[in-house]
Amino acid sequence: MKEKIVNLLSSNIDELDNDQVRELLEQPPKPELGDYAFPCFRLAKVMRKAPQMIAAEISEKIEKPDFVERIEVQGAYINFFLAKDMFAKEVITKSINDDFGSFEIGKDKTICIDYSSPNVAKNFHVGHLRTTVIGNSLYKIFSKLGYNVERINHLGDWGTQFGKLIVAYKNWGNEEAVKEKGIEELMRLYVLFHDEADKDSSLEDEARAWFHKMEIGDEEALKIWKWFFDISLEEFKRTYKLMNMEFDHFTGESFYRDMTDDVVKELEEHGLLTESDGAKIVDLSEYDMAPCLILKNDGSSIYATRDIAAVEYRKKTYNFSKCLYVTGQEQKLHFSQVFKVMELLGNEWAKDSLIHIPYGLVSLGGEKLSTRGGNVIYAEDILKEAISKIKEIIDEKNPDLSAEEKEEAAKIVGVGSVIFNDLYNQRIKDVSFKWEHITSFEGETGPYVQYTYARCSSILRNIEGFKPSTDIDYSVLSDASSVDLLKEIDRFPNVILEAADRYEPSVVARYAVDLAQAFNRFYTENRIAVDDENIRNTRCTVTYITRRILKDSLDLLGIGCVERM
């Protein structure tokens, strides 16, 4: 509908195109001001006339189509009042189908998303939780647009730190402790290494030697490394399982270890490598960037070298149209360097198809979060705590549920509450962590949206023999709260497009709250389970559609739904 109004206006205004009109078109706060309002202030500048006069002239010119009930000029505004029943019919006819909001824009195109990517032998912390949920949501959003998406977990599983870990393990570790405590013990050993190396610098040399052994394929070195890798991945997978998230590839940095020699050769052939203090770098001063380090002075490759190898491998293997990297903003320089090097290697495509998607910090405020050894916070513990907090609320709110149902609901709503909190704010902003807000069933929260979904389910469950239909009485939907709800429903496809365009899941999260609020107003103001079959069927159909879009929206965020909570 909005698009139709946009078209109507722009075909009557020579000075503005569709995009400009769309940007100006408003949704007035009060029904007396119509459903859409077009302000003429901007035009006044271009046309050098009073805005009131322009509004009058344009409205005169417009031939009123059937879907508009009337057009009124009020001051500098042209207000459009939709023909409510036609509007309702149009929205319901398209949104009743399950594929409402699905597109084929991405057909035959591949997008790689590099996200989550925790570091082996380190805890999966709150920062990794953000990349995980943002990346997973982008995967859902682009899939909905019809893209083939490759979900890539670029684990931090290679580098000198593993040399250190091997030294520490050999000196102060033992098999049982690692088996029993996993990452926690590996982290203890790592910290211990640094304490000891402060006193005895020969340990650093030993560590370098062990990493060198790893790089040349030494059996013992690789065996210990692989063991640490397996233990870590198992723990990470536990967190992914809790969040119901999957990856297509667990190809971490080690996956590219045999490809870095070729990267060095290629850079050399292009005359890009220069020496600096025994290390090899790509000078990027011409582009106002610090140099990109490729080989350390001991000849070992680093993070950037493996990232360059990874881009080449992915381009060759998946022929992506875009490759997205979701990490904290502190890696901005790293990715600018890697992308620039790719460009300098003659890859035109690198310019617009390699995209860094940064995000802000999680600020814990004064929250007490459960910690394990060394005061370290694990994402898994946060999720578990959310589940138990939600369980308490559900126990109280809905004692009739079976133990199993409560368990299931607490898990989905608890995990969802943390994900939602993470995705509700623009990704570049810091998110604050406040239990009281996150797990609340009111306000802009995951549980609120999920609760609204369960409410829709319960309404429909209690009406016997209801089937959604377009053969309903549209005049029933002319009150303000119904029209508002239909407008929200109508917005869904554009919300997905905007979220994809800006790589911004918060657009979907905010929409989900808007839709839930619109439904709750509709529900307060209209009785649904009335005797009159016409009215009942009409309102139930709207409830049915709202329910499905709430579910789809939550799914786009990587959050599940429950029928009762």
Note the residues at the interface with ligand ARG (CB under 6 A).
114, 117-119, 154, 156, 307, 310, 325, 327
Q: Return the number of the residue (127 or 291) whose C-beta is nearest ligand ARG.
A: 127
Q: Return the number of the residue (145 or 323) whose C-beta is nearest ligand ARG.
A: 323
Q: Is 93 exposed, middle or buried (0-12, 13-18, 19+ CB in 10 A)?
A: exposed
Relative to beta strand 354-359, strand 36-39 is: unpaired
Residue 506 CA to residue 556 CA, distance in Å, equals 11
3-state secondary structure of 502: coil
Answer yes or no: are the C-beta atoms of 439 and 447 closer than 8 Å.
yes
3-state secondary structure of 30: coil
Beta strand residue intervals within 55-140, DSSP E: 68-74, 77-82, 110-114
Q: Return the number of the residue (268 or 330) whose C-beta is nearest ligand ARG.
A: 330
Position closest to ligand ARG via CB: 156
If you ran DSSP here, which 8-state letter would residue 63 be given?
A: P
Residue 406 CA to residue 395 CA, distance in Å, equals 7
Answer yes or no: are the C-beta atoms of 503 and 357 closer than 8 Å.
yes
Q: Return the number of the residue (114 or 312) whose C-beta is nearest ligand ARG.
A: 114
Question: Tokens 């009058």 map to which residue?
Answer: 56
Q: Return the number of the residue (154 or 539) whose C-beta is nearest ligand ARG.
A: 154
Tokens of 457: 């389910």
Residue 424 CA to residue 503 CA, distance in Å, equals 13
Taking the complex as a whole, how short is the minimal distance between the CB of residue 323 and ligand ARG, in angstroms? 9
**Number of Cβ within a 10 Å radius of residue 10:** 17
Answer yes or no: are the C-beta atoms of 540 and 468 closer than 8 Å.
yes
Residue 207 CA to residue 213 CA, distance in Å, equals 10
Q: Return the number of the residue (8 or 311) whose C-beta is nearest ligand ARG.
A: 311
* 327: β partners: 358
Residue 221 CA to residue 194 CA, distance in Å, equals 20
Q: Return the number of the residue (136 or 452) whose C-beta is nearest ligand ARG.
A: 136
Closest CA to 248 of 335, 356, 135: 135
Answer yes or no: are the C-beta atoms of 193 and 165 closer than 8 Å.
yes
Q: Which residues contact 417 (CB under 8 A, 6 or more apart)?
A: 386, 390, 438, 439, 445, 446, 447
Q: For helices 379-397 and 219-243, what crossing angle results, to 10°?
A: 20
Q: What Å distances lie between residue 178 and 139, 164, 463, CA to CA?
A: 35, 16, 57
Q: Return the number of the residue (310 or 507) whose C-beta is nearest ligand ARG.
A: 310
3-state secondary structure of 215: helix
Residue 312 CA to residue 456 CA, distance in Å, equals 48
Taking the complex as a whole, how short is the minimal distance between the CB of residue 124 and ligand ARG, in angstroms? 10
Q: Which residues contact 422 (CB under 8 A, 6 or more apart)?
A: 129, 130, 133, 134, 362, 431
Closest CA to 474 of 96, 3, 100: 96
Residue 111 CA to residue 324 CA, distance in Å, equals 8
Taking the complex as a whole, how short is the minimal distance between the CB of residue 335 and ligand ARG, in angstroms? 8
Active-site annotation, residues: 122, 125, 128
Q: Return the number of the residue (232 or 538) whose C-beta is nearest ligand ARG.
A: 232
What torsion, rounded to 10 degrees, do the Cα atoms 520, 521, 524, 527 define? Answer: -90
Q: Return the number of the residue (37 or 345) whose C-beta is nearest ligand ARG.
A: 345
Closest CA to 158 of 196, 210, 106: 210
